[in-house]
Amino acid sequence: MAFSSMTGVCADELQCIVCLELYEEPITLPCGHSFCKACIKQHWESREEATVCDCPNCRKVFPIKPECQKNVALAKLVEKTKLVPGVNVEERRCTEHGKPIQLYCKDDESLMCVMCLVGQHTNHEVVPVELVHDEFKGILAAKCPELSKSKQHLESQLHQLKQEVKQTQDSGKGTVDRMEEKRLALYQYVDKSVDLVKSRVIKRQNKKICLLQKQMDKVKEQLNSLQETNSTLKAALQDLETVSFLQGYKDVIKRLESVSHFQSLKMAQPTVLDFSKEEKNLGSFIELHENFLKNIMKPVELQMSDLDQSSLRSLYGRTPSLDPNSANPWVKISQDLRTATQTETDNHQPEHPDWFDRYAQVLSSDCFSSGRHYWEVDVRSSRSWGIGICLNSMGRKGGVNGCWMGGNPESWCLMKDENEYFTRHNNQITILPVRRNPERVGFLLDCEEGEFTCFGDSRVLHVFRGNFLVPVKPAIGVYKHDGDSLRFCSF
């Protein structure tokens, strides 16, 4: 039975018993029963005795034909009922048969009338709308604690980020003030050197604050989404009208599913920027250290002490997909396109112009030429590997270095050979001091800054610099050992 929370009456009570529709121009007979004006007229005209006027409901006979006056109050009530919040009552009728919706098909997840039982819903599980109404409300109610918990996590993260922003703002204030005192003791190049150091401090502050602000915006966005979903959920649970609830149920579920992936970030301990090095360098300049200007003019690099990897995952995290067409025949790609495994047998895949015919390598189908992008690779199952980025134009066939990652100017690669780590670009090798084997290695591509940063053990291992405004693709290689594999991590 449809119930209107706006009017406080059941919609069924506003139906004419002759046409079974909502009243149109309702009139009320002396006996107190109401009908559509057209319905009562048609009823009287259909009588064999044209002079006899009776009530179709109670069968009371009126010797004299009653005057049919419009029931204004009832007409207004019908109009209000048609405008129940967000739903038109006419929409609660079966679109195929025009009859009231009374049933729900669980197989098709659709609302239906009694006449729908014959036809496409034959042998389907069909239940009264009242039963599924209670069932679905129970499902929504069960989501409340989980939604509330996620909301609390996001609020906690937002509070922590706000605190870290304030600490970051305060961290450089004393340093900048003390630099002004040192200005008086400097001689030649005083103004230029102080301004350069201040610029370095402020740039590091702004860079971190900008990234933290983006985190805050993202958490606020998720929090707003949760709050909106929570409001929608509560509104749905308070909706006493059965069909209205069922028509909005799927939208509520979709909204719940869209926020179900919100998870609490493992926030690192707030870090305060350390500017002691800058102050020490400035003090050294009093002794006219000739290399001071060269030191402070070096580009500001992203430091892990300024931003942890969990923040990079949150802001710029990507999970690249592997391109099977580029995979060497001795590289097996998993069904989810995340893992590459070296095999001793040819996978017998059709030859493709994009595949590597010499080295066990594969490219991602993702291509980047702007913005920032961060991804991680699980390296626990491989003893010799190469991970990096390549131009799509890098060679794929033959040649010793032309199609080997890092062996040409079109690729940049972090590599491991047993327990030795090194970088390779244009066949130039740089040995890296890695104390222990990391389980994951991370990569941050900053196309505008022209930087490709490699991370391991929560620290920067190496920074490649180049023109990354041209499209580049993540790439991996599994070398030497059968069964070794690399996997792009999911965030």
* Model confidence pLDDT, tens digit, residues 75-93: 888 887 776 554 454 557 8
CA–CA separation, 247 vs 274, rounded Å?
57
The residues that bridge with 454 in the sheet, in sequence order, are 443, 462
Q: Please, what CATH class does the domain formed by 317-488 belong to?
A: mainly beta
CA–CA separation, 430 vs 435, rounded Å?
16
Question: Is the whole model's pTM more than 0.85, yes or no?
Answer: no
Percent of the chain with pLDDT over 90: 30
As a whole number, mean pLDDT of residues 423-447 equals: 93
* Tokens linked to 60: 């009371």
From 474, 16, 344, 398, select the one nearest 24 (Cα to Cα). 16
CA–CA separation, 46 vs 44, rounded Å?
5
From 278, 240, 290, 220, select the one nearest 134 (Cα to Cα). 240
DSSP sequence for 145-211: HHHHHHHHHHHHHHHHHHHHHHHHHHHTHHHHHHHHHHHTT--TTHHHHHHHHHHHHHHHHHHHHHH
**More confident site: 286 or 115:** 115
420: left (phi over 0), alpha (psi -120 to 50) or beta: beta
* Tokens linked to 383: 């003893």
pLDDT surpasses 90 at 114? no
**More confident site: 434 or 272:** 434
Q: Please, what CATH class does the domain formed by 11-89 belong to?
A: alpha beta
Residue located via tokens 């109670």: 58
Distances (CA, A) of 121 to 101, 105, 246: 14, 7, 18
CA–CA separation, 245 vs 227, rounded Å?
20
**3-class SS at 422?**
strand
What average pLDDT is seen over the chain?
83
* Tokens linked to 85: 């919040």
**More confident site: 241 or 191:** 241
pLDDT surpasses 70 at 2? no
pLDDT surpasses 60 at 95? yes
* Model confidence pLDDT, tens digit, residues 164-191: 888 888 877 777 777 777 766 665 666 7
CA–CA separation, 68 vs 34, rounded Å?
10
Q: How confident is the model at residue 1 (pLDDT cuts 50, 70, 90)?
A: very low
* Model confidence pLDDT, tens digit, residues 359-409: 899 999 999 999 999 999 999 999 999 999 999 889 888 767 778 999 999
CA–CA separation, 291 vs 192, rounded Å?
14
Q: Where are the domains of the chain?
A: 11-89, 146-308, 317-488
